[in-house]
Amino acid sequence: MAAIELRTAIPGPKSLALMARRHAAVPRGPFHAAPVFVDHGEGGRVVDVDGNTLLDFTGGLGALNVGYANPRVVEAVTAQARRFLHTCFHIAPYEPYVALAEKLNELTPGAFAKKTLLLNSGAEAVENAVKIARYATGRAGVVGFEHGFSGRTLLAMSLTSKVMPYKLGFGPFAPEVYRLPYPYHYRSGIADEGAFVDAAIAEMKSFFQTHVDPKQVACVVMELVLGEGGFVVAPRRYVEALNALCHEHGIVFVADEIQTGFGRTGKMFAVEHYELEPDLITTAKSLGAGMPISAVTGRAGLMDSVHVGGLGGTYGGNPLACAAALATIAELEEKNLAGRARALGEILRRRLAAIAARDPRLGELRGLGAMVAVELVKDPKTREPAKELTGALCARCAARGVLLIHAGTFGNVIRFLLPLTLSDAELEEGLDVIESELRAL
Ligand SMILES: *Cc1c(COP(=O)(O)O)cnc(C)c1O
């Protein structure tokens, strides 16, 4: 039986009425990938207020690796809600916070003693990783990447690369933020992979002469696979060279695993593909299966450098969110959802490669595990980004019951953030829709 079931046009009359209220009451700033209001969800499916069932291939923007309304997570949150919702960890601590810290210390790569700080959002995790790195090193400089995304608060936004919509009009930005070019092969103009990596490493070394001295840099914040930047996978040799440079100069290496984490790449964390042991790891999104929670996990000595009272917040590590995260991790481990990500990734690649063989607008297919994206171009030779096509494809797929999200600095990448609980049949059904809409465009 088909998963998608449309009973009205998308959006239906109830969604339209709610959207009118939304526009009257809420500023236009927050965007929507789809024009439907959700009633409930299960696994990879959402049912809207008009009774339409849609497939969500954005996984609630990357937060739902264990799917909508995962029963184990719902049960854990409900049980915690009956006991207490909040105390504030600074007022009176509680066990779930400690249990989650223990679990993340054990789960994250790095054969050294670790500690974990819990927060509310991805941006807050990045901000705190930078605070800790600055405190521990006594240095101010922070190095991010072109095409990188770190969130929307002042420091995170300063690190974020893409101007529109994230930065335009919101300055001045935080000082002492520097930006390395991301090793983005497809747009490098260098055909040979080895030559491209050599050039990228040379550029990285010269950056520390022409932009900032390494001795002034507290940390480098890197997404090993760009999230909002369009799922560009950093070459292993580049990452090793950067990590070696960080070690040589006492720079804290922060791996931002907010989008890559919790099985999406086919391993629990993307750093495992690189056999990298970062000093600090930031996590959020699929950590909480939709509950707002994030973490900074890393070397105990670094984490402990900050004085008592220097880190925290009213809600950081909220008990409901901790219960959700513990249940999420148990679910990921027991159901081997990282293995499932590899299987889903194979289907995605096979289907998209078949489409690309006939349709030259699919300029590049890339990713790790189920973290797969396709970059759409107007012409495979010029590689001019096909932003309008990408937007139109997302809109048309939503109208046919498949929620998609674009990515990339040029807005021309379709990225798949599948709930890893999706069945093969559901994935194939959604891909059929994408294929037919691409053909129609
Ligand atoms: C989403 C994201 C963030 C920001 O997370 P928020 O919870 O939206 O603040 C930071 N880094 C990466 C890599 C992300 O994908």
State which of 285, 315, 405, 415 you would mutate to test the pocket of ligand 1, scoring each by most atoms of that ligand within 8 A of its C-beta.
Answer: 285
Complete domains list, the chain, with CATH = 13-62+337-440 (3.90.1150.10), 72-334 (3.40.640.10)
Residue 122 Cβ contacting ligand 1 at under 6 Å? yes
Local structure of 49: helix, strand or coil: coil
Q: Which long-range contacts (CB under 8 A, 24 or more apart) does 16-21 make?
A: 18/49
Residue 323 confidence class, pLDDT cut points 50, 70, 90? very high
Residue 259 Cβ contacting ligand 1 at under 6 Å? yes
State which of 58, 124, 128, 149 you would mutate to test the pocket of ligand 1, scoring each by most atoms of that ligand within 8 A of its C-beta.
Answer: 149
Question: Nearest-CA neighbor of 161 among 138, 184, 139, 140?
Answer: 184
Distance CA 20, CA 432 (A): 32
State which ligand 1 atom lies nearest to the alpha carbon of 294. 7
Q: How many CB atoms lie within 10 A of CB 21?
A: 10
Find tokens 């609980």 and name the residue: 421
Question: Nearest-CA neighbor of 66 among 355, 439, 333, 359?
Answer: 333
Our measurement of the distance from residue 34's CA atom to the centroid of its chain's CA atoms, rounded to an integer in Å, reads 19
Residue 334 confidence class, pLDDT cut points 50, 70, 90? very high
Residue 1 confidence class, pLDDT cut points 50, 70, 90? confident
- Whether the predicted pLDDT of 155 surpasses 90: yes
Distance CA 437, CA 374 (A): 15
In degrees rounded to 5, what are phi and psi of residue 70? -55, 125
Tokens of 252: 């804290």
- Whether the predicted pLDDT of 221 surpasses 90: yes
Beta pairing partners, 256: 282
Q: What residue owns the CA closest to ligand 1's atom 6?
A: 122
Residue 192 confidence class, pLDDT cut points 50, 70, 90? very high
- Which one-letter DSSP state was computed for residue 215? G
pTM of the model: 0.98
Which strands sit side by side in the sheet containing 362-368, from one edge to the other?
362-368, 371-376, 413-415, 405-407
- pLDDT tens by residue, 34-54: 999 999 999 999 999 999 999
Local structure of 141: helix, strand or coil: strand
State which of 150, 221, 291 you would mutate to test the pocket of ligand 1, scoring each by most atoms of that ligand within 8 A of its C-beta.
Answer: 150
- Whether the predicted pLDDT of 6 surpasses 90: yes
